Amino acid sequence: MKNIDVPIFTVDFEGSKEVGVVEYGIVEISRGKISATHTAMSAPKHRRNKEARTVLDISGISESQLENLGEFDSNISIFKDMRRRGLFAAHNAAFEDSILRSYLPSPGEVPHFIEPGKRVYTWGLWLDSMCFVKNLYPSLESVKLSDAINALGIKGKLDALAEIHCPRNRRKWHCALYDALASAVIFTEVCAQPGFEDMTLEWLSRYSGNSGLEQKELGL
């Protein structure tokens, strides 16, 4: 990835389209290295309904942690700015894409990045670490995020980064920044192996699920 000069932002959302985003995590990858991270919580759309409580239970977030917080849509400008600068990535990117589009269908006119000079109006093209693992390691029984990390032998690397970047009580699965870090580590660790030195952004996109550089799976 050292030859790729376009920033890649791995993102993870805890929440759902109905409940909204209660936590997000962002990891910026620059030339194959993790260069920055950011995470924050936000209030659900409906604080006390059954689905919101289920989301909070799965994510390990208490209602008291969300008191006095605004909803996620106040942060959408952060994501618009990132998409103008680079491309998004996620593990099972269809989920993150659907969440963003539920708040804002389009980020406005942004660079395509893979086709020079082309402009688009979508949150994609997305790089999908789930598709990436599935394409490079077809013999794996599961490409669930935790299973992929364990199968690739990079859990230690993930936990070491989590110690540096994640809040003390958010260094586990279903914590947004931890999961975003896991997706980022899949890309950075696999692409640091011998044989990937001359990898291009187009190659990475194709092996991340963008057959023909289209996003049919994401409905774009």
CATH number listed for the domain at residues 8-206 = 3.30.420.10
Tokens representing 203 are 């190659």
- CB of 90 closer than 8 Å to CB of 129: yes
Q: Rounded distance, CA 172 to CA 179, Å?
A: 8
As to burial, measured by CB atoms within 10 angstroms (0-12 exposed, 13-18 middle, 19+ buried), residue 212 is exposed
Query: Who contacts 194 (Cβ-Cβ below 8 Å, separation ≥6)?
Result: none
Q: Rounded distance, CA 69 to CA 121, Å?
A: 30
Give the residue among 189, 212, 209, 214 at the shortest CA–CA distance from 1: 189
Annotated domain spans of the chain: 8-206
Give the pLDDT score at 112: 93
Give the pLDDT score at 48: 67
| pTM metric for this prediction | 0.93
Cβ neighbours around 150 below 10 Å, total: 13
Give the pLDDT score at 51: 86
- CB of 89 closer than 8 Å to CB of 68: no
Give the pLDDT score at 211: 60
Q: Rounded distance, CA 146 to CA 44, Å?
A: 26
Give the pLDDT of the chain (220 residues) as one tens digit per residue.
Answer: 888 999 999 999 999 999 999 999 999 999 999 999 999 999 998 766 788 889 999 999 998 999 899 999 999 999 999 999 999 999 999 999 999 999 999 999 999 999 889 999 999 999 999 999 999 999 999 999 999 999 999 999 999 999 999 999 999 999 999 999 999 999 999 999 999 888 899 999 999 987 654 444 343 3
